[in-house]
Amino acid sequence: MKTFNTNNDSDIFLAKWLEGELSDNELKNLVSEDDFSAYLKLRKGMDVSEKLDAPITDTFEKIQNKIEDRKQKVKPLYKNWSIGIAASIIALFGLFMFLDNDKVSIETGFGESRSIVLLDGSEVLLNSKSQITYNQDGWDKERTINLVGEAYFKVAKGEKFTVITDNGSVTVLGTQFNVNSTQDFFEVICYEGKVGVKTTEYDYVLLPADAVRKVNGYPSEVSKTSLNEPTWIDGESTFKSVPLRYVIIALEDQYNISFDTIDINDADVFTGSFPHNNLNIALKTVFETLNITYNEKENRNIKLGYKE
């Protein structure tokens, strides 16, 4: 701290203080308490009186600007409104577009099957690990469904009804049919009416009890079925001369398990069925007939092999 308490400076310290060269605390040490507060008040009073006497023209300009700003704001406000309206219209349109494109997607998990009634009263039974997507809007004009997996369709009479899969499409007018499109396995069975099947190579027309199947790029083949409806609807998967690979996929989808097929020939053909509610019976019915052993190595992973 500087000391101004010398005789030399005793007659100028207030000037120094007013100029800021001497701090308030330093002044406090030089004068009495009453004097100190009086000087503080004097300084403040001087500052304020200068400010109060300061010209008021600047303030008038500010007032004019504020009034002007407000006047001009009328237009921007309108602009903002129109932008807002435009934005909400766009947003609404966007929403409608979304609604327009309102794709319904229904998916089943392992071992789950679902029955879906479509807008026109058509029924879809979705087997496990399958998915359908369709466009809700304009359904009455265009009945198109995308399918991955297996589903049984009971189509109400009406416009063309199309099921699109990766392996081909199925077109009907009003009938009952089953479509199974699992990986590269594609099978359509007609239970009632007339079903048009279009694969990459051929077009087929299926009559009741007709089935068409295409496996892994082999030429598709037509066969007959004796059933009135797919058995999986009643909790049983039925196969007729199906390569074991697809039966295993069906088992996996149904029971949420995985198989180690390294030791077996999964191209063997299987004919038969397995229930959806009992894994042991399912494994027994599928693999015992083929002389294959099954051991649960880890949780939900079953190792397949041939009997010694």
Partner 1 sequence: MPKDNRNICHSKTFETIYNLYAKDIRRFLFFKTQNVDRAEDILQEVFIKLWDNCSKVDYDKVKSYTYTIANNMFLNEVKHQKVVQSFNKHNKKESTNESPEFILLEKEFMEKLQNTIARLPEKQREVFLLNRIEKKKYKEIAINLNISVKAVEKRMHQALVIMRKEIGNV
| CB nearer to partner 1: pick between 12 and 269 | 12
| CB nearer to partner 1: pick between 67 and 281 | 67
Site for partner 1 in 224-253 (CB under 8 A): none
Binding residue for partner 1, selected from 60, 78, 96, 306, defined by CB under 8 A:
60
Q: Is residue 51 part of the contact set for partner 1 (CB under 8 A)? A: yes
| x/- letters, 1..20, toward partner 1 (CB under 8 A) | ----------xxxxxx-xx-
Smallest distance from the beta carbon of 20 to partner 1, in angstroms? 11
Say how many residues touch partner 1, by CB under 8 A: 32
| CB nearer to partner 1: pick between 15 and 85 | 15
Smallest distance from the beta carbon of 89 to partner 1, in angstroms? 35
Smallest distance from the beta carbon of 81 to partner 1, in angstroms? 22
Can you tell me the distance from the alpha carbon of 291 to that of 299, in angstroms, rounded to the nearest whole number? 23
| CB nearer to partner 1: pick between 10 and 101 | 10
SS3 57: helix
Binding residue for partner 1, selected from 2, 66, 79, 297, defined by CB under 8 A:
66
Q: Is residue 274 part of the contact set for partner 1 (CB under 8 A)? A: no
Instruction: Point out which residues bind partner 1 (CB under 8 A).
Output: 11-16, 18-19, 34-35, 37-42, 44-46, 48-53, 56, 59-60, 62-63, 66-67
